[in-house]
Amino acid sequence: DIQMTQSPSSMSVSLGDTVTITCRASQDVGIYVNWFQQKPGKSPRRMIYRATNLADGVPSRFSGSRSGSDYSLTISSLESEDVADYHCLQYDEYPPWTFGGGTKLELK
Amino acid sequence: QVTLKESGPGILQPSQTLSLTCSFSGFSLSTYGMCVGWIRQSSGKGLEWLANIWWNDDKYYNPSLKNRLTISKDTSNNQAFLKITNMDTADTATYYCARSVGFAYWGQGTLVTVSS
- What pLDDT score was predicted for residue A74? 98
The per-residue pLDDT of chain B, averaged, comes to: 96
Q: How many CA atoms lie within 13 A of B16 on its CB side?
A: 16
B110 touches chain A (CB under 8 A): no
Dihedral sign (CA A93, A36, B23, B20): positive
Long-range pairs for B54-62 at CB < 8 Å and ≥24 separation?
A: B55/B29, B55/B30, B55/B31, B60/A94, B60/A95, B60/A96, B61/A95, B62/A95, B62/A96
Would you say residue B44 has pLDDT above 90?
no
Would you say residue B66 has pLDDT above 80?
no
Q: Closest partner residue to A101 among B46, B62, B96, by Cβ?
A: B46
Which of B45, B48, B49 to probe by mutation at the A interface, max A CB count within 10 Å? B49
Contact B102 A87 (CB under 8 A): no
CA distance between the termini of chain A: 36
Query: What is the rounded distance in angstroms from the CA atom of residue B80 to the CA atom of residue B101?
Result: 15
Contacts of B104 in chain A (CB under 8 A): 34, 46, 49, 55
Give, in order, the Cα–Cα distances in Å from A57 to each of A48, A106, B31: 11, 23, 25
Is residue A95 reached through a cis peptide bond, with omega within 30 degrees of 0 on the bond before it?
Answer: yes
A9 touches chain B (CB under 8 A): no
- What pLDDT score was predicted for residue A37? 98
* B41-46 average pLDDT score: 92
CB A3 within 8 A of CB A98: yes
B113 touches chain A (CB under 8 A): no
Instruction: Name the CA radius of gyration of chain B, rounded.
Output: 13
Q: Which residues contact A96 (CB under 8 A, 6 or more apart)?
A: A1, B49, B60, B62, B63
Give me the average pLDDT of each 10-residue run along chain A (108 residues).
97 97 97 97 98 98 97 97 98 95 97
- What pLDDT score was predicted for residue B81? 98
- What pLDDT score was predicted for residue A86? 98
From the CA of B51, how many Å to the nearest CA of chain A? 8
